[in-house]
């Protein structure tokens, strides 16, 4: 058994919900889940109503996070399919980047390619763009990156084909980075008969060959980050005739990755890069002093993941029953013990907005 101390793990991709979707999760419950899962900071996506695509909605989200978040936080602005270019200058101050949805998914922010190009180009002097792009949309966005040279992060990469396109893009010197999610790393489409709608998300679960390619790319550095894409939905919504897309995973990502270290599938150094050093460099977010997570590795008696022990409001996990040999022991944020032994030690509102400096390459 050993303890791996990770400097300020940052999850650059969560859907905390709150506001009009507080029945799925709220800023207090979902940041508690992040903290219990070992994250000291999270970056929240814009597709929850009222969508973070207008300065007023952005201000409201920031106010509510400020009052109720347990861990540190940042928010994305969203490109809106109806067009919100004119609001960009006002939004820039309060966000870590622009999110563009290039495929349909939860919410109403899917943007077709023509409008997409204008919004992509307009963010040029404002920092980083993160894209939801699957398969051929990865190729389409790479063309835009080539044309406009904007720092672009490709979220939740899930197939070998996508990885091949990104490898080529990196080889050509494009300013890009890419992330993979725990569900694509630890589940495949073969889990679907067992999981049913609880295994449905966008991008969907893929083949074993795709998963193998993701693990290779984690080790060889093509993938820069592991991001959870934590996306809680209520049990009723998941069991509906048309189930909602998305899985709540922020609380189990680090223990799953720690277990992969124990199994020799990932080195400790690489784990630290994927969940801390790289996301912090890419998004330009420095780690505050005395901010770290102690991850115990090599548990003699594995823990079993169970929704009953998790903090997310939604009350279920796609990893129910998974055995893990890693456990999050303690989290310190700015010299305050924020979580220990599964218990949250700080009040709602303790979390601070992240401080973004120059974004990295």
Interacting residues toward Zn ion by CB under 5 A = 229
Q: Does 277 help bind ligand DOR (rule: CB under 6 A)?
A: no
**Residue facing Zn ion at closest CB distance:** 229
Near ligand DOR by CB under 6 A: residue from 61, 132, 184, 238: 132
Q: Taking the mean position of all CA atoms in its chain, how far away is CA 73?
A: 12
Candidates 63, 83, 54; CA nearest to 18 is 63
Contact 61, 18 (CB under 8 A): yes
Least Cβ distance, residue 196 to Zn ion (angstroms): 21
Q: Does 105 help bind ligand DOR (rule: CB under 6 A)?
A: yes
Q: Does 111 help bind ligand DOR (rule: CB under 6 A)?
A: no
Near ligand DOR by CB under 6 A: residue from 231, 249, 254, 257: 231
Least Cβ distance, residue 48 to ligand DOR (angstroms): 7
In whole angstroms, give the CA distance from residue 170 to residue 159.
17
Least Cβ distance, residue 201 to ligand DOR (angstroms): 3
Q: Does 317 help bind ligand DOR (rule: CB under 6 A)?
A: no
In whole angstroms, give the CA distance from residue 177 to residue 221.
10
From the list ligand DOR, Zn ion, none, partner contacted by residue 246 (C-beta under 5 to 8 A by kind): ligand DOR
Q: Does 150 help bind ligand DOR (rule: CB under 6 A)?
A: no
Record the tokens describing residue 31, joined without a space: 């940041």
Question: Whose Cβ is closer to ligand DOR: residue 62's or residue 202's?
Answer: 202
Question: Whose Cβ is closer to ligand DOR: residue 61's or residue 270's?
Answer: 61
Candidates 207, 210, 221, 218; CA nearest to 253 is 218
From the list Zn ion, ligand DOR, none, partner contacted by residue 317 (C-beta under 5 to 8 A by kind): none
CA torsion, ordered 31, 37, 40, 45, to nearest 10 deg: -50
Record the tokens describing residue 88, joined without a space: 């960009």
**Contacts (Cβ under 8 Å, ≥6 apart) of 291:** 7, 8, 40, 332, 333, 334
Q: Does 201 help bind ligand DOR (rule: CB under 6 A)?
A: yes
Contact 42, 34 (CB under 8 A): yes
Q: Does 170 help bind ligand DOR (rule: CB under 6 A)?
A: no
Least Cβ distance, residue 70 to ligand DOR (angstroms): 20
From the list Zn ion, ligand DOR, none, partner contacted by residue 167 (C-beta under 5 to 8 A by kind): none
Bridge partners, residue 101, by sequence: 110, 132
Least Cβ distance, residue 203 to ligand DOR (angstroms): 7
Q: Does 246 help bind ligand DOR (rule: CB under 6 A)?
A: yes
Q: Which residue's entry shows tokens 């279920």?
A: 316
Q: Does 47 help bind ligand DOR (rule: CB under 6 A)?
A: yes
Least Cβ distance, residue 8 to ligand DOR (angstroms): 25
Question: Whose Cβ is closer to Zn ion: residue 75's or residue 326's?
Answer: 75
DSSP at 50: S
61, HSE (Cβ side, Cα atoms, 13 Å)? 32
Record the tokens describing residue 236, joined without a space: 């009723």
Tabulate helix, strand, coil % of the chain (nearest 5).
Answer: 35, 20, 45
Binding site for ligand DOR (CB under 6 A): 15, 47, 105-106, 132, 201-202, 231, 245-246
């Amino acid at each position: 058994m050993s303890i791996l101390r990770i400097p300020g793990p940052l999850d650059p991709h969560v859907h905390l919900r709150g506001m009009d979707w507080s029945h799925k999760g709220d800023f207090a419950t979902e940041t508690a889940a992040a903290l219990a899962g070992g994250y000291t900071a999270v970056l929240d996506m814009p597709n929850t109503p009222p969508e973070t695509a207008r300065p007023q909605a952005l201000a409201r989200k920031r106010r509510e996070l400020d009052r109720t978040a347990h861990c540190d936080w940042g928010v994305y602005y969203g490109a809106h399919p109806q067009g919100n270019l004119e609001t960009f200058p006002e939004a820039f101050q309060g966000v870590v980047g622009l999110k563009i949805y290039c495929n349909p998914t939860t919410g109403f922010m899917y943007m077709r390619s023509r409008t997409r190009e204008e919004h992509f180009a307009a963010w040029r002097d404002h920092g980083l763009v993160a894209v939801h792009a699957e398969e051929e949309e990865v190729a389409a966005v790479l063309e835009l990156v080539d044309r406009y040279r904007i720092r672009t992060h490709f979220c939740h990469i899930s197939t070998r084909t996508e990885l091949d396109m990104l490898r080529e893009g990196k080889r050509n010197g494009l300013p890009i980075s890419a992330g993979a999610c725990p569900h694509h790393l630890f589940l495949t489409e073969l889990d679907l008969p067992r999981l049913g709608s609880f295994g449905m998300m966008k991008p969907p679960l893929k083949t074993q060959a795709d998963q193998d390619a993701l693990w290779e790319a984690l080790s060889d550095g093509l993938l820069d980050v592991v991001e959870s894409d934590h996306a809680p939905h209520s049990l009723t919504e998941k069991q509906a005739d048309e189930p909602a897309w998305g899985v709540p995973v922020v609380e189990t990502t680090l223990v799953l990755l720690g277990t992969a270290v124990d199994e020799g599938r990932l080195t400790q150094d690489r784990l630290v890069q994927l969940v801390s050093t790289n996301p912090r460099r890419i998004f330009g977010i420095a780690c505050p002093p005395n901010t770290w997570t102690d991850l115990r590795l090599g548990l003699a008696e594995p823990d079993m993941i169970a929704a009953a022990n998790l903090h997310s409001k939604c009350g279920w996990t796609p990893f129910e029953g998974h055995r893990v040999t890693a456990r999050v022991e303690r989290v310190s944020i700015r010299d305050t013990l924020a979580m220990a032994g599964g218990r949250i030690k700080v009040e709602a509102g303790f979390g601070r907005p992240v401080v973004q400096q120059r974004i990295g390459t």
